[in-house]
Amino acid sequence: MFPFNRAPCPDRAALYLEQALKGQVSGDGPFTKKCSAWLEGLVAPAKVLLTTSGSHALEMAARLCGLAPGDEVLMASYTFSSTANAFTALGARVVFVDIRPDTMNLDEGLIEEAITERTRVVVPMHYAGVACEMAAILEIARRHNLLVVEDAAQAVMAGYRGRALGGLGDFGCYSFHETKNYCMGEGGALVVSDAARLESAEIMREKGTNRSQFFRGQVDKYSWMDWGSSYLPSDLNAAYLWSQLEIAEEIRLNRLASWTRYRQELTPLAERGAIELPVVPDGCEHNAHLFYIKAADLEERSRLIARIKQRGCLAVYHYVPLHSAPAGLKFGRFHGRDRFTTSESERLLRLPLYYRLEEEALETAVQAIISFYRG
Ligand SMILES: *Cc1c(COP(=O)(O)O)cnc(C)c1O
């Protein structure tokens, strides 16, 4: 059986891990510095702090927004639990808005009518590394005085009108989980756009202390300044990530080549109306985070997954929309009508896509789909 995902293992990974083992294994060592400097190159002038996970980056962002219980946060319901958890942990209510059927992203046209006097934050999640309509979202946020936290977990090295995703909002959150394009095992990063918020973010990440300033020689002792936790990853994780960031362009192009190949080979089926293919709107430079197709409905998707599996390949789907999940019912509400979130999520099916995806795996998946629709 071909795997659904495989973590990258660049040649230099073992070397860098050994260097970290013999040098510094705790956080904020030389590899962490290399990775954050590299990521800052993408989102400059914003600052980047490596974190222990994408979920933790979201938690930090949520706390830095200064929310009070009862405040409202807008997001799409078609997302991972972490997008919402970060905010519900602070007593905020999540208000879910319907998605656009073309990109599966938050429908920017529905944000404004969901805003109340309690709304504080909007959280665009860039599904599959395809940007939400950020110009419209940032404009609405500015007019209503909302903060923007980008869940860019899937969007490292993806762009919107020439700018890197994750660096457009007040905060951006990357994930380096093994299922993402670049991987630390477990890890993530917080992008902080406003320099005035950097110090609070550093303190929160270092157990509530100003140790980062101490190490830079800016203060002569460090102490407990505010609430914090341990959000900095081991330099071992950063060493592994660095082995990928230094070949980030090669990884990106390799994934894009597989993505384009899927698209080309499945285009005839889409033209016949049998399936739908992903849409990448103008101005979105996606990063081939994942490749999906849409079947007619839930029942057809189940049969198609079984067929692909029978041919030796794994195909999976996600997410159960949060608003209909037990925690979503408890912590949130859906604003307006669920026209697309549930129905589109039930049709979506992901195909294997990872760095150096084997030709044979890709062909197995494609041929299984073609034969399925042949009858
Ligand atoms: C992966 C992912 C996360 C969480 O990242 P972790 O590093 O696994 O904590 C959050 N949001 C979205 C949309 C994701 O895809």
> Tell me: the pLDDT tens digits for 45-83?
999 999 999 999 999 999 999 999 999 999 999 999 999
Ligand 1 centre distance from Cα of residue 221 (Å): 35
Domain ranges in the chain are 13-245, 248-374
> Tell me: the pLDDT tens digits for 306-324?
999 999 999 999 999 999 9
Handedness of CA 27, 33, 38, 44 (dihedral sign): positive
| 205 confidence band (pLDDT: 50, 70, 90) | very high
Which among 94, 106, 177 is the best mutation to test ligand 1's pocket, defined by most ligand atoms within 8 Å of the CB? Answer: 177
Using DSSP, state whether 185 is helix, strand or coil. Answer: strand
The percentage of residues in the chain with a pLDDT greater than 90, rounded to a whole number, is 98
Run of H or E including 151: strand 147-151
Which among 59, 60, 82 is the best mutation to test ligand 1's pocket, defined by most ligand atoms within 8 Å of the CB? Answer: 82
Burial 77-87 (b: 16+ CB within 10 A, else e): bbbbebbbbbb
285: pLDDT strictly greater than 80: yes
Instruction: Read off the tokens for 110.
Output: 């529905």
Predicted structure pTM score:
0.97
- Return the CATH fold of 13-245: Aspartate Aminotransferase; domain 2 (3.40.640)
- Return the CATH fold of 248-374: Aspartate Aminotransferase, domain 1 (3.90.1150)
Per the listing, tokens 């946060």 go with 73
Helices and strands (H and E) in the chain: how many? 14, 13
Ligand 1 centre distance from Cα of residue 299 (Å): 28
Count how many Cα atoms sit within 13 Å of the Cα of residue 303 in the half-sphere of its side chain. 9
354 within 8 A of 289, measured Cβ to Cβ? no
How far, CA to CA in Å, does 349 sit from each of 55, 93, 302? 24, 30, 9
Which atom of ligand 1 is least distant from the CA of 177? 7
CB atoms closer than 10 angstroms to residue 339? 13
State mean pLDDT over 269-297: 98
Ligand 1 centre distance from Cα of residue 223 (Å): 32
Ligand 1 centre distance from Cα of residue 373 (Å): 33
